[in-house]
Amino acid sequence: DPVYSVAFSPNGEYLASGSLDKCLHIWSVKDGRVVKTYQGNGGIFEVCWNKEGDKVAACFSNNTVCVLDFKM
């Protein structure tokens, strides 16, 4: 599925990606692999981090926005 949105965490260690597969993936920039996955109810068209880097927001195709806690 195509990826519609990517965003780096404020510290640059992680990359969030959202796509039509209904999954928000958090990637380790250092390792180049997925470290967390969140399943949603619709395709994801936008992802963004808060300034502290401990929350990720995703905008879904079913007109919902979800804010997720992210802690590693």
HEC profile of the chain: CCEEEEEECCCCCEEEEEECCCEEEEEECCCCEEEEEEECCCCEEEEEECCCCCEEEEEECCCCEEEEECCC
Read off the pLDDT of residues 28-72 as tens digits, 9 standing for 90 and up. Answer: 999 999 999 999 889 999 999 999 999 999 999 999 999 999 987
Report the pLDDT value the prediction gives residue 46, as an integer from 0 to 100: 96
- Show me where the domains of the chain are located: 3-69
Class of domain 3-69: mainly beta
Q: How far does CA 34 lie from the centroid of its chain?
A: 11
Q: What is the pLDDT of residue 31?
A: 97
